[in-house]
Structure 1
Amino acid sequence: MRRGSLRLRLVGAAAALIVLALVLAGAGLLVIFERELAARATDDLDRTAKFIAAQLEPGPEGRPRLLQEPADLRLATAYGGLYWQVEGGGTLLRSRSLWDAQLQPPAFPPGVVQGAEPEVLTLAGPERSRLLAVRRAVALGRRGAEVDYAILVAIDRRDLAASRDSFLAMLVPSLAGLGLVLVLAMAAFVHRAMLPFRALGRDLRAVEAGQRATLSGAVPDEVRPVVEALNRLVTLQERAVGRARMQAGDMAHGLKTPLAVLGALARRLRAENRAAEAAEVEEQVQAMARQVDRALARARAGGGAALRRHGTPVRPLAHKLVSVLQRLPADRAIDWRLEVAPDFTFPAEEGDLTEMLGNVLDNARKWAGGVVRLATEGGALVVEDDGPGLAPDLADSITRGQRWDESRPGTGFGLAITRDLLEGSGGALQLQRAASGGLRVLLQPAAGA
């Protein structure tokens, strides 16, 4: 995809939004997990505190004793991460995991009710740890002689952090995989959404190449207004090109009569032995005829830049032109070499190609030593002769309509008209030196034609 591609922009924007959404979702899931983890830990600590309360009984002078300790290996391991202690009756009971440490909870707030909801605390623990603790206040003993006890159960927050890190280690690659799948799915979606535009591009190229008259209407509703507008544009331009050609033809017919009258006048003057005046009139008639031909060629070249190009098979047309040129008087035989594939087409109207190719082949015939070659080079046409060739500094002057050598018949406008027709449709005319030393003329069509 190119940098300015709409598909690249859409996929990039979608990928950025997907990444942002997954980051926010991951942060939200992590917060929810931490809260749920803390809630479950608190619930487990409270169940342990209730178990201790059920196994606790007051001894002599209210000193507590625990009938059975909770069965958890962490409670039997020094600084194992899970701790309990019971305080009351002037005695402190604690789990083996506390070893020589003692938890220092704050005093009970005023109005604590026995058996009420547990109090959740954050305490300092052994080895500079931070603990999540649950404390319950219970009263045991005979009625009227109850003894108050504070049961405290705590867990190291590092254990909770380890669980969170384990969850995060699974969450990150899972979200990354989900993000990749979503980005690929979005890329596939954008690719499918752009299919009508690629089909529209293919139809436009087909219309431009003359392979079809209008764009296909089998497109989604969102694209149909564009297709209809382009079809109207193609139709309007075809009509405009037709009118331009008709007007050019009308102008040519309108000027033929005055030029014929002037030619007749020149012949009359010459018949009256007024050769100087006749030559002047003939010179002006020829100049006007050249300008008319040039103007008509420019008008046709302007019409050739239509949206729809018509391809013309080259080989049949070349055979017709060579057949005509062979009938012209010549002082030497020409070996015509037509090296063009039967199915090769040139993107131009048949009339325009006839004039362009006819001008170039006729020019090659006049200057060739004995061989004229017509071949293809990619999508271009190449005409070569084995004549004297052309100096590089004369190429520009010839394409402007100036004569190279007065020793050969012609107006000097053939190559200039060919150049105008090619440039009018986006192509180009190149004059080069052939391998045989003669002139090599390259008729290059418009790019993409």
Structure 2
Amino acid sequence: MRRDSLRLRLGLAAAGLIAIALALAGIGLTVILDRVLDARTADGLDRLAKLIAGQVTVEPGGTLGLPQAPPDPRFATPYGGLYWQIEGGGHSLRSRSLWDRGLGSVADTAQEPAIGDLDGPDGGRLIAVTRRVTVPARGDPVALAVTVAEDRRDLAQSRATFLRLLVPSLVALFAALTLAMALFVRRALAPFRALRADLAAVHSGTRARLPETFPEEVRPLVSDLNRLLDAQERDLERARTQAADMAHGLKTPLAVLDALARRTDTSHPTLSQDIAEQARAMARQVERTLARARAATGGLRRRACPVAPVAERITGALKRLPDGEALRWESVLPEALAFPGDEGDLTEILGNLLDNARKWAHRRIRVSGRADGEGGRLVVEDDGPGMSEAAIAGIARGRRWDESRPGTGFGIAIARDLAEAAGAGIHLDRSDLGGLRVTLVWPERRDPSGP
């Protein structure tokens, strides 16, 4: 998945937001747990304070007594983590767990019982509950403060146990929600994948327009693309019509010039030769310009044309020519080899290349090709004299190669223009047959609906 992928960006954003939400939820659950633990512990301590307050006695000398201590063994263990203390009438009574220390009492509040934190006998923090009661005695009633406290380290152990369960649970929840969000994003982007597939069908020529079956949010984009396709098709048709009109419009003046050249051949041979040469030059330029015009109208809709049938048809036609019957034609083309353009473009490209090879070959012409994962390759070779590096450079600049043979002399240059318009390239070098080798290469057609 590429870095500029919309699905990757949405997935990362969703994962980040989910992580933040779960982290805040974890913090909130921890705070809630702390409050619940405090409330539950305070409630238990208050019940113990009531139990102790109901059993306390005041002796005649004001001494406090507790006939039956709470049964929890932590009250009898020094610094056992659970403590009680009774104060009133100038006397005090405390649990054995306090040993020789005192608790004090929670400050008076409007709340009864009073709940707060106290310092423990071993330096720790205690959560304490103080309940103030009045106990009858033989004299005046005695006001007592009964305090029961528990070490917060016991609560910390419960909190740690909760966190050990909470963190893996949140991690698992994060993974599940991230996966669900990834599936959601994939589902939400499904119309765009379908749009890319339909655009690929338009590029390949199997579909003329995009369907109107997309969701409402995507439909305006589809409508605009269809309008663009229609406008491009109209421009394409207009360009073809103008090219045909130009060809017909120039055909008559060129024929007139040729007739004038023949008419003045006897009286003004030099002038006749100049007129004929200029007429041929104009014809060559017109032919190449028209070929470029046809090549420039490929547009958005491209077709993949099988190479083997076109090569077989052109070879069969060239074999019937007088100088083509004496040549040995070799063709090794796989059925899977397809040119990324119209059949008309391929016909003109291959026709120019094979006709050029026919004119210069001595005995042998070979056409071969290859289709693989990297694209396609079409090679036309002959055993003729070949071309020098200077001639190849001249072809690259659009110049005519040789005027000693019939024809316009622009066949390879026209083939280059048409190939480049289809996204292919032409390379010229020397063949192992001895003559010229023309290699037509094009990259693999990428499917826009792919990754």
TM-score, structure 1 normalization = 0.92
Distance 2:97 2:437 in 1: 100
**Does structure 1 residue 74 correspond to structure 2 residue 74?**
yes
Q: Deviations for 1:355-400, whole angstroms, at most 9, x for unmatched residues?
A: 1110011112223343222222332322222334344454231133
Displacement of 1:143 after TM fit? 7.3
The range that moved more, 214-223 or 150-159, is 214-223
SS at match of 1:336: strand
The range that moved more, 342-351 or 83-92, is 342-351
**Does structure 1 residue 32 correspond to structure 2 residue 32?**
yes
Aligned to 1:420: 417
Aligned to 2:185: 190
SS at match of 2:86: strand
The range that moved more, 202-211 or 94-103, is 94-103
SS at match of 2:61: helix
Distance 1:222 1:7 in 2: 17
Distance 1:176 1:440 in 2: 64
- One of 391, 395, 399 as aligned partner of 1:398: 395
Aligned to 2:132: 137
Aligned to 1:210: 205
Aligned to 2:99: 99
Distance 2:438 2:379 in 1: 6
Amino acid at match of 2:15: A
Going from structure 1 to structure 2, the CA distance change for 1:146 and 1:16 (only over 3 Å counts) comes to same
- One of 271, 291, 302 as aligned partner of 2:296: 302
Distance 1:93 1:144 in 2: 20
SS at match of 1:303: coil
SS at match of 2:264: helix
Amino acid at match of 2:282: M
Going from structure 1 to structure 2, the CA distance change for 1:393 and 1:92 (only over 3 Å counts) comes to farther
Identity among equivalent pairs (%) = 55
Distance 1:391 1:79 in 2: 105
Distance 1:225 1:445 in 2: 34
Going from structure 1 to structure 2, the CA distance change for 1:209 and 1:122 (only over 3 Å counts) comes to same
Aligned to 1:47: 47
8 Å Cα contact 2:319/2:325 also seen in 1: no
Aligned to 1:356: 349
Displacement of 1:97 after TM fit? 1.3
Aligned to 1:292: 286
- One of 436, 439, 443 as aligned partner of 1:442: 439
Distance 2:433 2:45 in 1: 101
Distance 2:174 2:388 in 1: 66
8 Å Cα contact 1:394/1:404 also seen in 2: yes
- One of 340, 354, 365 as aligned partner of 1:347: 340
Displacement of 1:228 after TM fit? 2.0
Aligned to 2:449: none
Distance 2:100 2:89 in 1: 20
Amino acid at match of 2:347: T
After superposition, residues 232-311 of structure 1 pair within 5 angstroms as 232-270=227-265, 272-304=266-298, 306-311=299-304
Displacement of 1:239 after TM fit? 1.8
Amino acid at match of 1:148: A
Displacement of 1:437 after TM fit? 4.3
The range that moved more, 161-170 or 190-199, is 161-170
Residue ranges of structure 1 left out of the alignment (5+ in a row) = none
Aligned to 2:361: 368
Aligned to 1:335: 328
Amino acid at match of 1:64: L
SS at match of 2:417: helix
Distance 1:419 1:377 in 2: 19
CA RMSD of the aligned region, Å?
2.2
Distance 2:181 2:236 in 1: 45
Aligned to 1:325: 318
8 Å Cα contact 2:337/2:370 also seen in 1: no
Q: Deviations for 1:53-76, whole angstroms, at most 9, x for unmatched residues?
A: 122122231212112211212222
Going from structure 1 to structure 2, the CA distance change for 1:432 and 1:216 (only over 3 Å counts) comes to farther
Distance 2:324 2:101 in 1: 125
TM-score, structure 2 normalization = 0.92
Displacement of 1:125 after TM fit? 0.9
- One of 169, 182, 185 as aligned partner of 2:164: 169
Displacement of 1:157 after TM fit? 1.4
Q: Which runs of 4+ in 1 moved over 6 A?
A: none
Aligned to 1:14: 14
Q: Deviations for 1:81-119, whole angstroms, at most 9, x for unmatched residues?
A: 11111123443221121122222336x64xx89xx7111
Displacement of 1:331 after TM fit? 8.4
Amino acid at match of 2:326: A
Amino acid at match of 1:277: L
Amino acid at match of 1:434: S
8 Å Cα contact 1:426/1:447 also seen in 2: no
Amino acid at match of 2:384: G
SS at match of 1:121: strand
8 Å Cα contact 2:332/2:369 also seen in 1: yes
Going from structure 1 to structure 2, the CA distance change for 1:435 and 1:95 (only over 3 Å counts) comes to farther
8 Å Cα contact 1:120/1:133 also seen in 2: yes
Q: Deviations for 1:229-258, whole angstroms, at most 9, x for unmatched residues?
A: 212211221121111111101110111111
8 Å Cα contact 1:86/1:93 also seen in 2: yes
Distance 2:435 2:69 in 1: 112
8 Å Cα contact 2:132/2:143 also seen in 1: yes
